[in-house]
């Protein structure tokens, strides 16, 4: 059953995301399973969340907004304005509707991978981080982040959130408040 679900997701995924993103997704799956095994999370949950996290990433702005409207998905103002962040929300909805995934932790991990949020579960942290450290990622600081994630999930998360905030500010992008909440909360946990 699980095998069938995973195969089905793979088959559908290939039809909605481009080959480069599919390769990225496979990298996120591997990283997420690795981190799940290392940090005591369910590897199947990590695999499914990772597989679906970017399912809607190649939707256009109009497609994302039409989807949100069609299914009356609740979206805050910042998320709607920074529409690139919407793909997590839409993917979580598709995971439930199309793939019958009802596990709230998996759905939250998919939904919140674009912003983080306060009180992230272990699975949410794993998916957020796997997205940044998968083997195909190559940017200044990625090796430092990989080492930190290896050492401690929360230390890695703080670094990844800091990196995101610095990046968003550098491009004068819209910073989602949930990213700030996540960062300040994890800062407290790491520094205490």
Judge whether 125 and 139 are in contact, CB under 8 Å. Answer: no
Q: How many CA atoms lie within 13 A of 114 on its CB side?
A: 25
Q: Please state the closest distance from residue 130 (CB atom) to Fe ion, in A.
A: 9
Query: Residues 46, 35: contact at Cβ < 8 Å?
Result: yes
131 near Fe ion (CB under 5 A):
yes
DSSP code at position 136? T
Could you tell me the two tokens for 190? 């790491």
Report the residue number, 41 or 54, with the smaller CB distance to Fe ion.
54
Q: Closest approach of Cβ 185 to Fe ion, in Å?
A: 21
DSSP string, 28-77: HHHHHHHHHHHHT--HHHHHHHHHHTTTTTTS-HHHHHHHHHHTT----H
Stretch that binds Fe ion, among 34-42, 69-77, 127-135, 169-177 (CB under 5 A): 127-135
User: Taking the complex as a whole, how short is the minimal distance between the CB of residue 191 and Fe ion, in angstroms?
Assistant: 28
Q: If phi over 0 gives left and psi between -120 and 50 gives alpha, with beta otherwise, what is residue 141?
A: left
CB nearer to Fe ion: give 25 or 153: 25
Instruction: Using the rule CB under 5 A, give the single segment among 38-46, 97-105, 128-136, 158-166 that binds Fe ion.
Output: 128-136
Binds Fe ion by CB under 5 A, chosen from 41, 54, 111, 185: 54
CB of 54 or CB of 111, closer to Fe ion: 54
Shortest Å distance, C-beta 55 to Fe ion: 9
Q: Which is nearer to Fe ion, 21 or 187 (CB)?
A: 21
User: Which residues, at least 6 apart from 136, have a Cβ–Cβ distance to it below 8 Å?
Assistant: 23, 24, 27
Q: Considering the complex, state which of residue 124 and residue 131 has its C-beta at the smaller distance from Fe ion.
A: 131
Q: Site size for Fe ion, by CB under 5 A? A: 2
CB 85, min distance to Fe ion, A: 9
Binding residues vs Fe ion (CB under 5 A): 54, 131
């Amino acid at each position: 059953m699980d095998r069938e679900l995973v195969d089905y997701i793979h088959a559908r995924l290939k039809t909605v995301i481009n080959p480069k993103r599919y390769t990225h997704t496979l990298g996120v799956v591997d990283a997420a399973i690795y981190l799940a095994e290392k940090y005591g999370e369910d590897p199947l949950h990590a695999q499914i969340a990772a597989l679906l996290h970017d399912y809607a990433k190649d939707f256009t702005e109009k497609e994302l907004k039409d989807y949100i409207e069609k299914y009356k998905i609740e979206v805050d103002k910042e998320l709607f304005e920074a529409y690139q962040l919407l793909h997590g929300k839409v993917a979580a909805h598709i995971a439930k509707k199309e793939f019958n995934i009802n596990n709230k932790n998996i759905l939250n991990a998919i939904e919140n991978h674009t912003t983080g949020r306060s009180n992230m579960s272990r699975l949410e942290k794993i998916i957020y981080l796997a997205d940044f450290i998968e083997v195909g990622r190559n940017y200044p600081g990625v090796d430092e982040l990989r080492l930190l994630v290896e050492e401690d999930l929360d230390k890695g998360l703080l670094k990844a959130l800091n990196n995101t905030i610095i990046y968003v500010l550098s491009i004068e992008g819209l910073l989602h408040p949930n990213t700030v909440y996540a960062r300040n909360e994890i800062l407290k946990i790491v520094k205490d």
